[in-house]
Amino acid sequence: MLTLAIETSCDETAASIVDATHRRILSNVLYSQIKEHAAYQGVIPEVASRAHLERLPHLVEEALTQANLQPTQLDALAATTGPGLTTALLMGSTFAKTMALALGKPFLATNHIEGHALSPHLTDPNLTFPYLLLLVSGGHTQIVMVHQPGHYEMLGTTVDDAAGECFDKVGKLLGLPHPAGPAIEQLAKQGNPTTLQLPFPKNDASLDFSFSGLKTAMRDLISSLPHEAVMPAQAGTHGINQRSVPSSADIAASFQHRVSTIFAKKCGNALAQTKAPTLVAAGGVAANSAIRSALAETCAQHGATFSAPPPHLCTDNAAMIAYAAGLRHLHRLPTGTLATPVRPRWPLAEVTAA
Ligand code: KG4
Ligand code: ZN
- The best mutation among 291, 315, 321 to test binding of ligand 1, ranked by most ligand atoms within 8 Å of the C-beta, falls on 315
201 C-alpha to ligand 1 centroid (Å):
21
Name the residue with the closest Cα to ligand 1, atom 21. Answer: 284
**Atom from ligand 1 closest to the CA of residue 289:** 26
300 C-alpha to ligand 2 centroid (Å):
27
Q: Is the pLDDT of residue 241 over 60?
A: no
**Atom from ligand 1 closest to the CA of residue 137:** 8
Domain segments of the chain as ranges: 2-118+313-350, 128-308
Q: What is the distance between the alpha carbons of residues 96 and 45, in angstroms, rounded to a whole number?
A: 20
For 86-104, the DSSP string reads HHHHHHHHHHHHHHHHHHT
80 C-alpha to ligand 1 centroid (Å):
18
Q: Which CATH class is domain 128-308?
A: alpha beta
**Atom from ligand 1 closest to the CA of residue 171:** 14
CB 26 within 8 A of CB 66: yes
The CATH superfamily assigned to 2-118+313-350 is ATPase, nucleotide binding domain (3.30.420.40)
Per-residue pLDDT tens digits for 215-234: 999 999 999 988 766 665 44
- Helices 86-103 and 45-67 meet at what angle, rounded to 10? 30
CB 312 within 8 A of CB 281: no
Q: Is the pLDDT of residue 236 over 60?
A: no
**Percent of the residues in the chain that have a pLDDT greater than 90, as a whole number:** 89
Which-ligand-closest: CA of 324?
A: 2
Q: Is the pLDDT of residue 279 over 60?
A: yes
Per-residue pLDDT tens digits for 318-331: 999 999 999 999 99
Q: How confident is the model at residue 61 (pLDDT cuts 50, 70, 90)?
A: very high
Q: What is the distance between the alpha carbons of residues 301 and 216, in angstroms, rounded to a whole number?
A: 32
Query: Taking all residues of the chain, what is their mean pLDDT, rounded to a whole number?
Result: 94
Q: Is the pLDDT of residue 19 over 50?
A: yes
**Atom from ligand 1 closest to the CA of residue 112:** 6
230 C-alpha to ligand 1 centroid (Å):
22
Q: What's the confidence (pLDDT) of residue 231?
A: 63
- The best mutation among 118, 167, 262, 263 to test binding of ligand 1, ranked by most ligand atoms within 8 Å of the C-beta, falls on 167
DSSP element (H, E) containing 32: strand 24-32
217 C-alpha to ligand 2 centroid (Å):
26
98 C-alpha to ligand 2 centroid (Å):
24
Report H helices in 174-247: 181-188, 212-223, 232-235
Q: What is the distance between the alpha carbons of residues 339 and 169, in angstroms, rounded to a whole number?
A: 37
Q: How confident is the model at residue 302 (pLDDT cuts 50, 70, 90)?
A: very high
Beta-strand relationship, 278-282 and 131-136:
parallel
135 C-alpha to ligand 2 centroid (Å):
9
Shared fold status for 2-118+313-350 and 128-308: yes
CB 49 within 8 A of CB 36: no
- Which amino acids bring their CB within 6 angstroms of ligand 1? 10, 137-139, 164, 167-168, 179-182, 185, 283-285, 287-288, 315-316
Q: Supply the pTM of this predicted model.
A: 0.94
Distances (CA, A) of 153 to 22, 207, 224, 351: 26, 13, 42, 11
**Percent of the residues in the chain that have a pLDDT greater than 70, as a whole number:** 95
Q: Is the pLDDT of residue 239 over 80?
A: no
Report H helices in 2-85: 34-37, 45-67
244 C-alpha to ligand 2 centroid (Å):
39
Q: What is the distance between the alpha carbons of residues 53 and 155, in angstroms, rounded to a whole number?
A: 37
Name the residue with the closest Cα to ligand 1, atom 3. Answer: 315
Phi, psi of 140 (to 5 degrees): -135, 140
CB 304 within 8 A of CB 279: yes
Q: Is the pLDDT of residue 178 over 70?
A: yes
Q: What's the confidence (pLDDT) of residue 33?
A: 87
**Atom from ligand 1 closest to the CA of residue 314:** 1
Q: What's the confidence (pLDDT) of residue 260?
A: 98
Can you tell me the mean pLDDT for 34-62? 91
Can you tell me the mean pLDDT for 194-209? 96
**C-alpha count within 13 angstroms, C-beta hemisphere, residue 108:** 32
Q: In what order do the strands lie in the sheet with 151-157?
A: 151-157, 141-148, 131-136, 278-282, 305-307
